[in-house]
A and B are shown apart, each in its own frame.
Chain A
Amino acid sequence: MVYSREVEGKLYTFGVSGRLYKSNVLLYDHQTESLWSQMMEKAIAGPLVGKRLKKLSSVRTSWKNWREKNPHTLVLSRDTGFKRNYSVDPYEGYYRSLGIWFPVGDVRRDLSPKEMVLGIEVKGKAKAYPVSQIGKQPGILKDEVGGEPVEIEVAPDGEIVGVRDERGEPIPAIFSYWFAWQAFQQKTDVYRGKR
């Protein structure tokens, strides 16, 4: 996920708080030590409580795919100032997203808890698209969220490469485990496929 570091005209830098809310790692800002929830997209405690994070458009994709589409891209260097072995996955293959560390409360049984979903929220209405299901149908999936048209582009290899409105503007969307999405979007709809 990508957010603006500017909140109401002021710049902040963020770190990892070590605190969790609903299994989500909370960020904190170094300037005020407020705690920020990525899923709620706002500060949930501290001097900036209630202030919102502005989500910016980003994609998660393979290096091959990104490089083909963006030949002049820059790449974050391993020269981070920290000594880490970046060829090793510290989570040993455990698939994780959005800093989810352990499961939360009762989980709605619409899908299995660890099913990956593409989550979209438009005008206060949320909808979850099972990634395994929509990945089987390459092309443009046309649907509606919150009464607004939504287009999801699925590449021939099943990768979800874009979520847009009818004017072609990107709509922020996130990949998440079902259990985490439904914890934050308790009234979420679930995409069931075209009849």
Chain B
Amino acid sequence: MKRFLEGSFLLGCLLMLTGFNVDNAIVPKGEILSGGPPKDGIPAILKPQFVSPKEAEFLKPGDEVIGVRMAGQARAYPIKILNWHEVVNDTVKKVPIVVTF
């Protein structure tokens, strides 16, 4: 039992170190590096909320945004917010999109 627990512990550590299975990678595995924050250390946005331009008083005229238009609807994703999340999972007019920075 002790040996089993030790084995599980080692396997767990190994999984934590690697995290992702890259056995079938189509780029050299040695070039897939760990760097910066760990998995989800930068939290992606999964349930984005939106406000009107009037309510977006936190934006200055010169602040940058990533702008998207889908079927007549426009959405702006401020770089100020993307800086902290890098990824926004959204759906615009039934089109599922991911905005990345």
- Judge: A and B partners, yes or no: yes
Could you list 5 examples of A-B contacts with CB < 8 Å? A2-B99, A16-B41, A20-B32, A63-B76, A76-B77
Residues of chain B with a CB closer than 8 A to A112's CB? none
Number of A-B contacts (CB under 8 A): 235
A19 contacts the other chain (Cβ, under 8 Å)?
yes
- In the complex, per-residue mask of A129-141: 1 if CB is within 8 Å of any chain B CB, else 0: 0000000000000
**Are A21 and B31 within 8 A (Cβ)?**
yes
**Are B78 and A2 within 8 A (Cβ)?**
no
Query: A14-B87, A49-B25, A56-B97 given as contacts; is B74 within 8 A of A79 (CB)?
Result: no
Of A86-94, A115-123, A147-155, A186-194, the one touching chain B? A86-94
In the assembled complex, the Cα of A25 lies from the Cα of B47 at a distance in Å of: 22
A176 contacts the other chain (Cβ, under 8 Å)?
no
Q: Which of A44-90 contact B (CB under 8 A)?
A: 44-46, 49-50, 56-64, 66-67, 70-82, 84, 86-87, 89-90
Q: Which of A11, A18, A45, A87 sits near B96, CB closer than 8 Å?
A: A11
Query: A14-B44, A26-B32, A58-B68 given as contacts; is B87 within 8 A of A75 (CB)?
Result: no
Residues of chain B with a CB closer than 8 A to A89's CB? 80, 83
Minimum CB–CB distance from A126 to chain B (whole Å) comes to: 18
**Are A75 and B96 within 8 A (Cβ)?**
no
**Are A63 and B61 within 8 A (Cβ)?**
yes
**Are A78 and B58 within 8 A (Cβ)?**
yes
Minimum CB–CB distance from B95 to chain A (whole Å) comes to: 7
**Are A44 and B27 within 8 A (Cβ)?**
yes
Give B35's nearest chain A residue, CB to CB.
A20
Query: A38-B100, A59-B66 given as contacts; is B88 within 8 A of A18 (CB)?
Result: no
A163 contacts the other chain (Cβ, under 8 Å)?
no
**Are B66 and A2 within 8 A (Cβ)?**
yes
Residues of chain B with a CB closer than 8 A to A26's CB? 32
Which range contains the number of B residues in contact with the other chain?
35 or more
Give the B-binding residues of A (Cβ under 8 A).
1-6, 11, 13-22, 25-28, 33, 35, 37-38, 44-46, 49-50, 56-64, 66-67, 70-82, 84, 86-87, 89-91, 97-99, 101-102
Query: A2-B97, A80-B48 given as contacts; is B65 within 8 A of A61 (CB)?
Result: yes
Q: Which of A5, A20, A70 sits near B98, CB closer than 8 Å?
A: A5
Q: Which of A15, A20, A97, A102 sits near B87, CB closer than 8 Å?
A: A15
**Are B27 and A74 within 8 A (Cβ)?**
no
Residues of chain B with a CB closer than 8 A to A25's CB? 36, 86
Residues of chain B with a CB closer than 8 A to A50's CB? 26
Residues of chain A with a CB closer than 8 A to B27's CB? 21, 37, 44-45
Residues of chain B with a CB closer than 8 A to A15's CB? 39-40, 43-44, 87
